[in-house]
Structure 1
Amino acid sequence: MAATRAVTDATFVDEVLRSETPVLVDFWAESCGPCRRVAPVLDELASELGDRVKVVKVDIDANPDIARDYAVLSVPTLTVFKGGLPVRSVTGARAKGDLVHLVESVL
């Protein structure tokens, strides 16, 4: 069973940019209510999509370099990376169906 995992400034390149599978990155912050609401949905997606997609979380307060590099101005921002590049992104808490569509659109 796959699970979401934390990614930091130090691990972002290896975990996201060099990943051979698409990666859904949840840019979030501890103080963000909508971020907490979407977290269980992301855990479900990680389990359901298994090896097809990696789901990771980046705490933008603890990892400001990544947030700056990808111009994250609002959280949650959910970005799908494929081949080391951001290819699709949405901002705000979304329904599970919307997130499934976001991910499947790049598979």
Structure 2
Amino acid sequence: MTKFGELIGSNIPVLIDFYAEWEEEDSNNTHGFLRDVAAALGDKAKVIKIDIEKNEILANTLRIKGNPTFIIYKDGEMKWRQSGEQDANTLISLVQQYV
């Protein structure tokens, strides 16, 4: 959890995609668009994927129930959270609000 605290404590926005590996296989790489989101945001934000099966304690602590779940943090504070598929442009616009 200490590493997670350091990760979200950043003074730039951090977009986290909580996903399950089995979901990635079934979705024909729909999360590949996160590379596009990261490229569009450049060094103005961090884009991170966290596998909920490999990080069960964290997922339970954050009450991650739906896959995928996207959360934006800045300065250690949750700014936005949504479960379900999102498109790249929506995520870029949301993160840019906190730059």
TM-score class, shorter? 0.7 to 0.9
Q: TM-score, normalised by structure 1?
A: 0.80
Which amino acid counterpart does residue 81 of structure 1 have in structure 2?
Y
* 2:68 aligned residue (68, 76, 82): 76
Give the fraction of aligned pairs with identical amino acids, expressed as a percent.
30
Native 8 Å contact 1:80 1:86 kept in 2: yes
Alpha-carbon deviation of 1:20?
A: 2.2
Q: TM-score, normalised by structure 2?
A: 0.86
Larger relative helix fraction: 2
- Give secondary structure in 1 for the equivalent of 2:18: strand
Native 8 Å contact 2:71 2:78 kept in 1: yes
Per-residue Cα deviation, 1:18-63 (whole angstroms, up to 9, x for no partner): 22211000000011134931x2111111112111100011100000
Residue segments in structure 1 that go unaligned for 5+ positions in a row? 1-8
Residue segments in structure 2 that go unaligned for 5+ positions in a row? none
Per-residue Cα deviation, 1:38-96 (whole angstroms, up to 9, x for no partner): x2111111112111100011100000111112111011001000110111012111111
Which amino acid counterpart does residue 83 of structure 1 have in structure 2?
D
Native 8 Å contact 1:21 1:53 kept in 2: yes
Which amino acid counterpart does residue 44 of structure 2 have in structure 1?
R
Alignment correspondent of 2:29 = 36
User: Is the counterpart of residue 87 in structure 1 residue 79 in structure 2?
Assistant: yes
Runs of 4+ that moved beyond 6 A: none
Alignment partners' CA distance in 1, 2:66 and 2:59? 10
RMSD: 1.8
Matched pairs, number: 97
